[in-house]
Structure 1
Amino acid sequence: MVTRRRRYLDGVQLAPGFSYAEDQVGTNGIGTALEGGQPMHVFGHEHYAENLEDLACAGVPIHHPITGKIVGAVDLTCWRKDADPLLIALVKTTADQITQGLLTDSSAQEYELLQEYLRACRRTSGIVLALNNDVLMMNEYARRVLDPGDQIVLLGQAAEALASGRPGATEVELPTGVTARMHCRPTRGPGSSGLGAGVVHVKLIEASAAPVTDAAIPARMFLPGLVGSGALWLRGCGQVEDLHKSGEWLALAGEPGAGKLALLRAVHQRHNPAAGLHVLDAAEAAGPDWLTSARRELLSATGDLVIAHVDRLNARQLHVLSSALREAREAGRADVLWVAATLGYRRRAGHLTELLRFFPSTVELPPLRHHSEDIHELVPFFLRKLSLRGRLTCSPEAMQLLTRSSWPGNTEQLWQVMRKVVQSRRSGEIAPKDLPPECWSVSRRLLSPLEALERDAIVQALLDCRGNKARAAESLGMSRATIYRKIREYAIVIPAT
C-alpha cells in the first residue's frame, strides 16, 4: 500500500524539487494554504488538476513568530477514501509545535529588531530594510522598486555601515545607475551591543548622469530625431547609414514598430535633406493606381525612395514591382535614386526572392526587447515631445515596469503608451499607477482586441484589489483557477500588495 501511494505521488510530482504553488497547479493543500495564509482542506474533486482528484490534502501555513512572515507549510496527504476530519486538526497541531520551536530559537535581539522595523514601516511608505547577522527584512516596496543587483549592493553597504558603527546618511551608486541615500540606525536591544544590527531607510535620488528622471537633459542623438545607445540598435543604424552613403539599394527588415521608417527618414535628413524623400506604402496596394505610381517614382523621382511593407504584396504585385525595379536599374536610375524596401524578418520572406535580387544587402533592426536599455532614453525623449516644456518625468518605479515589459509592438507601442499617459497626467512624475494595463504584462505576442480587453480587465481588478488574486477573481465573476490561468496566459506581472 505504501509503495503504491509513493508511486502515485511520484507520478503527480508531489515530491522534493517540484512546485505546488497555486498559480502553477491550481487549488491544492500546499499551494492554496500558502496563498490564502490560513488552514486549507482540499478534498478530491476540489483539486483543480484532475490527476489529484483521488487525494485529500490538509495544509497549514507556518508563520514566523517574530516576523509574522509565512516561512513554509505543513501538509498531510492521503487517499480520498481514507480522509478523516481529524486530518486538519492533526496538521494544525503540528504547525503550532513548529511555530513554538521557532519562537524558542528566536533571540531578544531579533525581537527588538523586528519591533524597530515595524515601527519604521508604519512611519514611512518608502524603502525600509532591517538586518543583523542572521535576519534580513525588506518591505514590499523595496522588493518591488529595486532590481536584484541593486538590492545586493544596498544590503552589502548597509551591513558594512552597521558593523562599523557608522550611523547617518550615506550615498550609494547602484548598478542600474540610480543613486540611493541610505540612513542607517543601529538597534540596541537587551543584551546587545547594537553593532551589526539595525534599520535602514533608503531614498532613491536622481543620478546626475542618468536620463531616466531628468527630462531637461536630452539624450545624445546618433541620427536626427532618433535616440538610443544600445549596441544592436547602433549597429543597425550604422549599417543603414553606410549603405546610403555608398548608394547601394537596401532591404531593411524588422518587426512591426521597430523603427524602420523612422531610421530611413533620419538617414535621409542627415545625408540628403535637400532632395526629396518619397514613401510608397505597399499596405495601400489594393488600389488600382499603386503599382502605376510605384513605377512612375522609380523611373522619374530623384533623391530617396522608400517602399514600405513589400512583404504585404501578393505574387502578382511582387512580379510587377520587380519588373519596374529591373527597368529602373537598366535605365541607370541607381545613380540618382536610392531605394530602400522595408519588410518583416527575412527568414519569413521566402516569397520575396525575385524582388530582393535588386537589393544586394539586407539589414535587420532589432526588436525593442533586444535593446531594452534604450527605453531609459526613449521615454524622456517621447515625454519631451508630448508634454509642455518637459514638465512630465518618469519615476524609477514606473521606469522599472516599462523596462520589464517585452514590447511586442516595439518602439511604436512604447510611443502609444506614452501618449496614453500624457492624456491623463500632464505634469509631475509618472507613477506605476499612471501606466496603462498593458505595461503590467510581459507577453511576447500582440493580443487580439478581445484578448487585450480581457487582459486589461484582469490587470485593473488586480490593481483595485492591491494584488489579491482571490478578490480580483471574485470582482470579475471568475473562479480563482481561471484567473491564475489567464495571468499565466497573458504573462501579467502581478502588482505587489
Structure 2
Amino acid sequence: MGDLADRRLLLTSARAELLESAEAELRGVPGHVAASWRRSAAGGVHPSVVTTEYHADLDLGSRLVRCARPVIEQLAEQLADIPVCVALTDNRARLLVRADTRSWIGRVADRLYFAQGFGYAEGSVGTNGVGTVLEFGDSVYIVGAEHFVESLQPYACAGAPVRDPFTGRIEGVLDISCRSENSSPVMHALVRSAAAGIENNLLADRNQQQQALFDAYSRLDARTRQAVLAVGPRTVMANSPMQTLLDPGDLPALQDHVRFVMVRHPDVDARLDLPSGTRVRLRGSTVTASGAVAGMVGVVSVDDEAARADGGVPARPARAQPVRTAPGSGPAWRAAASAVTGALQAGTAVLVLGEPGTGRFTLLSQLYPLVREAGRAVAIEPEQVEAAPADVAGRILRPGSPPVLPVLRDVDRLPGAAVEELLGALAAGAGAPPLVAATAAESGPAHAALLALFRTSATVPPLRHRSHELPDLLDALLAELAPHREVRLSREARRLLGSYDWPGNVRQLRDALAAALRRRPVGRIDAADLPAFCQSTPRGALRPVDQVERDAIVGALREAGGNRTAAAGALGLARSTLYRKIRQYGITV
C-alpha cells in the first residue's frame, strides 16, 4: 500500500507542477504519460472534469464493428468476474460499441460520457486509454493518477490500436476500463491480444479482390528476395526491400503509375524515371478476381543499365537525368512527354490520347517551343473542322513563320464526313507529310482513317493517377489564377482536394480553384470556400437535378458545422432521408 500511495503522490505532485508551469520536468512520470500530459495541458484540456462532444454520425454497421463484435463479446466473457467496460472506438476516438460485465460499471461510464457516440480524443479528455493510443501510435496502460483529468483518476484503462492488415493504418482502438483497485497489468496483455484478434478478422473479411491481391503478393514475396509491390484501387502492400528502395516521394508516384497501367495491360516490363530522377525497372502482372482487375503485383529493381556500385551490386537507385518537359513528374507523364518530344524532333505527326481535361493540349503547347524555337501550338476545334475542312487542311499544309504546330483537338468527336473531306484536302496538297498533332479520348471508327496521318501516339494519365503531383499542381494553378496575390489553401482544403477523384481532371481542378477564388479572392482559402462537389464522391454520374440537391445538402451541412440534425431541419428533410442521401452522394462533410 505504501508504494501505491507514494506513486500516487509523485504523480499528483508532478501534475500540479505542470499545471503551474509548462516547463516542469515531470521526474518519475513515464515518458508516454508525460508527453500526453504536456499535449493535454497545451491543448487546454479541463484538468478537473470530462468535457466532450456527442457525435450522431457514427457508422455502427461498419466492417470494423462487424469484425470486432465477436472479439468484444469473448473478452467480456473472459473478464466476467471483474467489473469492466470493454469498448471499441473508431480512429477519431468516438465510441462505437461498449460491453459491460456489471450494470453499475456501465452507469459509472455513462456519467463520465464513456458511452456510444461520445469522443474520447486526447485533445478533449486528456490522457486515457483511447485518445492516447491514437496519439502514441501503440498500446498504453493508464492507471489512476496517470490520467490528466481528475474525474478519471479513480479508474484504470488499457488500450490497443486496431490496424488495417493491408495498409497498417489505425482503424480504431480497443479499450478495457475499470476501477483502479480492480486493475492489473494483465489487462494490457489481454487488450493487445484481443486487438490482434480483430485484425485477424479484418484480414479474413476482405473481399474476393483483396483476397486475390493479397494471395498473389504473398506468393511472390515468398519466392524472391527482391522488392515486391502490390497495388490495388485502394490498397498498397510493400515488403521491407521495397520500403527502403526508393526516396519517400517516389513511392506514391510509382503507385499512381501502377494504377494507371494495371487497367490497360495484363503484364508490364518497363523502365521508369521517378520524380527524384531515380530510374527503376518494374516487372508486374495484373491480378483479376470475379472478372475484375484487383490490382497489380510486381518486382521493382534498380535499372541494371543505369549505374552499379563497385562489384556490380547497386548501392542506391541510379539517378536519371530529368527530362526537360512540361510539368509532370510521374512515370506515365514522363513517358508521354518523351514520346511527344521525339515525334516533334523527328517532324512526325503525333496523337495524344487521354481523358478530357488531363492536359493533352497543354503538353503539346509547352513541348513544341522547346523543340522549335519561338514555335507555338495552335488549337483547331472539332467545330472548325466540321464547318470548313478545306480551310483547316490549308492551315495544316501552310508552313508558318515563326513555326506553328496545328493541333486537331478531340478528333474522336469528328463526324465521318468531316474526316473524309479533311483527308481529301490534305491528300490534294503536294509535298511532305504535314507536321500535325491531335488529341483524342479514345480511338473510334469515325476517325479511323485519320489515324493513318500519325506515326506516334502517347497517353496522358488522368489526374487521379497523378495524386503525388497534386500539391505542386495546386500551387501552380493558384499562381496562374491569382498572380501577384497573397492566396493560400488551408490544410483542410488541401486534404479535401486531395481526397477527390477529379473525373474532369486538371480542367475541373482549375475550375474549382477559380470558384474558390471568387469567394475568397485573397488570404486563406478554407474547405467551405470550395465548390460543394469537392465534398461528394458519388458512385456514378449525377443528373443536373441531383447535382443541385447534392450542393444544397453540402451547403446546409457546412452552415450547420456538420450537424446532421440541424441540416435536416434547415432542408426540411427527415434525418433518415438526409442520411440516405449523404450515402447516395458520398458526401464527406
Q: TM-score interval w.r.t. the shorter chain? A: 0.5 to 0.7
Q: Name the residue aligned to 1:261.
A: 361
Whether 1:338 aligns to 2:435 is yes
What does the per-residue CA deviation read over 1:122-174, in whole Å, with 9 as the maximum and x for residues that have no partner? xxxxxx9477243379xxxxxxxxxx87879xxxxxxxxxxxxxxxxxxxxx9
Q: Name the residue aligned to 2:407.
A: 306
Conservation of the 8 A alpha-carbon contact between 2:353 and 2:439: yes
Question: Partners of 1:73 and 1:320 in 2: how far apart?
Answer: 73
Conservation of the 8 A alpha-carbon contact between 1:63 and 1:71: no
Q: Name the residue aligned to 2:395.
A: 297
Match of 2:372 among 272, 286, 292: 272
DSSP-derived class of the 1:251 partner: strand
Query: Any unmatched runs of 5+ in structure 2?
Result: 1-57, 67-84, 113-119, 128-133, 142-157, 162-166, 172-246, 251-275, 277-321
DSSP-derived class of the 1:333 partner: coil
Task: Note the C-alpha offset of 1:275.
Answer: 4.1
Conservation of the 8 A alpha-carbon contact between 1:394 and 1:429: yes
Task: Note the C-alpha offset of 1:372.
Answer: 1.4
Question: Partners of 2:530 and 2:407 in 1: how far apart?
Answer: 34
Q: Name the residue aligned to 1:228.
A: 328
Whether 1:404 aligns to 2:504 is no
Q: Name the residue aligned to 2:573.
A: 478
Match of 1:321 among 419, 422, 440: 422
The correspondence of residues 288-437 of structure 1 with structure 2, limited to 5 A, is: 290-302=388-400, 303-328=404-429, 331-334=430-433, 337-346=434-443, 349-437=444-532
Pairwise CA RMSD of aligned residues?
4.3
The correspondence of residues 80-91 of structure 1 with structure 2, limited to 5 A, is: none
Identity %: 27
Conservation of the 8 A alpha-carbon contact between 2:352 and 2:437: yes
Task: Note the C-alpha offset of 1:366.
Answer: 0.9
Match of 1:249 among 349, 352, 355: 349
Task: Note the C-alpha offset of 1:227.
Answer: 2.5
Task: Note the C-alpha offset of 1:403.
Answer: 1.2
The correspondence of residues 32-43 of structure 1 with structure 2, limited to 5 A, is: none
The correspondence of residues 14-163 of structure 1 with structure 2, limited to 5 A, is: 69-72=94-97, 97=103, 100=106, 118=124, 129=135, 132-133=140-141, 134-135=158-159
Further displaced range: 483-492 or 379-388: 483-492
DSSP-derived class of the 1:71 partner: strand
Conservation of the 8 A alpha-carbon contact between 2:390 and 2:422: no
DSSP-derived class of the 2:453 partner: coil
Task: Note the C-alpha offset of 1:99.
Answer: 5.4
Question: Normalising by the residue count of structure 1, what TM-score does the alignment of the two structures yield?
Answer: 0.56
The correspondence of residues 428-467 of structure 1 with structure 2, limited to 5 A, is: 428-443=523-538, 447-467=542-562
DSSP-derived class of the 2:435 partner: strand
| Structure 2 residue identity aligned to 1:277 | A
Conservation of the 8 A alpha-carbon contact between 1:64 and 1:99: no
Task: Note the C-alpha offset of 1:321.
Answer: 1.8
Question: Normalising by the residue count of structure 2, what TM-score does the alignment of the two structures yield?
Answer: 0.48
| Structure 2 residue identity aligned to 1:406 | D
Task: Note the C-alpha offset of 1:359.
Answer: 1.3
Further displaced range: 401-410 or 300-309: 300-309
Conservation of the 8 A alpha-carbon contact between 1:150 and 1:175: no
What does the per-residue CA deviation read over 1:47-97, in whole Å, with 9 as the maximum and x for residues that have no partner? xxxxxxxxxxxxxxx9969999433279xxxxxxxxxxxxxxxxxxx9983
Query: Any unmatched runs of 5+ in structure 1?
Result: 1-19, 25-29, 32-61, 75-93, 107-113, 122-127, 138-147, 153-173, 178-208, 210-220
CA shift in 2, pair 1:424/1:21, >3 Å: closer
Question: Partners of 1:457 and 1:95 in 2: how far apart?
Answer: 46
Question: Partners of 2:348 and 2:385 in 1: how far apart?
Answer: 25
CA shift in 2, pair 1:427/1:103, >3 Å: same
CA shift in 2, pair 1:423/1:150, >3 Å: farther
DSSP-derived class of the 1:357 partner: helix
Conservation of the 8 A alpha-carbon contact between 2:490 and 2:524: yes
Task: Note the C-alpha offset of 1:457.
Answer: 1.0
Q: Name the residue aligned to 1:282.
A: 382
| Structure 2 residue identity aligned to 1:135 | G
DSSP-derived class of the 1:389 partner: coil
Q: Which has the higher contact order (CA 8 A, sep 6+)?
A: 1
Question: Partners of 1:488 and 1:253 in 2: how far apart?
Answer: 34
Task: Note the C-alpha offset of 1:406.
Answer: 0.4
Q: Name the residue aligned to 1:198.
A: none
Question: Partners of 1:456 and 1:413 in 2: how far apart?
Answer: 16
